[in-house]
Amino acid sequence: MKRFLKCMIVESSDLLYAGLVAMLGQIRAGVQVVRTQDVSRLREQIKREKPDVLLINPLWAGGETPSRIKATTDRPDLLCVAFLSDLSSLSVVTEYDAQISIYDGFEQIRDRMEALSPKDSEEEKTLTQREQEIVTYVVKGFTNKQIADKLFLSQHTVVTHRRNIASKLNIHSSAGLTVYAIANKLVRLEDIGGGMKGA
């Protein structure tokens, strides 16, 4: 059974905070939320609350970076997720473990939060429905762009899913993914053969 994921949200806007809490509350993985609006007390609150995930608006972080936060709170395992309220902040998120945006849909946010959720050992290799769909398209020879178009996702989201799939399954080759997909009945052998002939 999955335990709750404890998230600390660092966001000054009540509207953005309330919207994010409502969205996170619908995620099946279960999320417990604490909030801070005082960046100067962030380290103290992280030490006291012990969150699994820090959701922080990089533009409102007061110069704080994930590496500095992790080092000064002695929490190298803390996942720092950039909560983007503005497309211009895309350039400052390279150091974050993941990112979500006010422009993301429910499914995208749910999939990212579920990927961050601590899991029991039995669940570590279980793919979400979306990840299974992506495996199917990858094995059939679709590019990231084609998968994104088919599933109405951004290419960045597809790449994130593929990274999560590789991490969960510890499979880093197309051949290995193909064997996994056939063994788990995600595709039929003839589906792959047809795709290979067209390649």
Q: 171-180: per-residue pLDDT in tens?
A: 888 888 888 8
Task: State the pLDDT at residue 119.
Answer: 57
Q: In which order are the strands placed within the sheet that holds 98-101? A: 31-36, 5-10, 53-56, 79-84, 98-101
Task: State the pLDDT at residue 135.
Answer: 93
Pairwise CA distance, residues 117 & 138, whole Å? 25
| H-assigned helices in the chain | 14-25, 42-49, 66-72, 106-116, 129-139, 144-151, 155-169, 174-183, 189-197
Task: State the pLDDT at residue 24.
Answer: 79
Pairwise CA distance, residues 59 & 148, whole Å? 28
Q: How many CB atoms lie within 10 A of CB 4?
A: 12
Residue numbers of the chain with a pLDDT score lower than 70: 1-4, 28-30, 87-92, 117-125, 193-199
Residue 66 contacts residue 80 (beta carbons within 8 Å): yes
Pairwise CA distance, residues 12 & 109, whole Å? 20
Task: State the pLDDT at residue 131.
Answer: 92
Task: State the pLDDT at residue 151.
Answer: 92
Phi and psi at residue 7, in whole multiples of 5°?
-115, 135
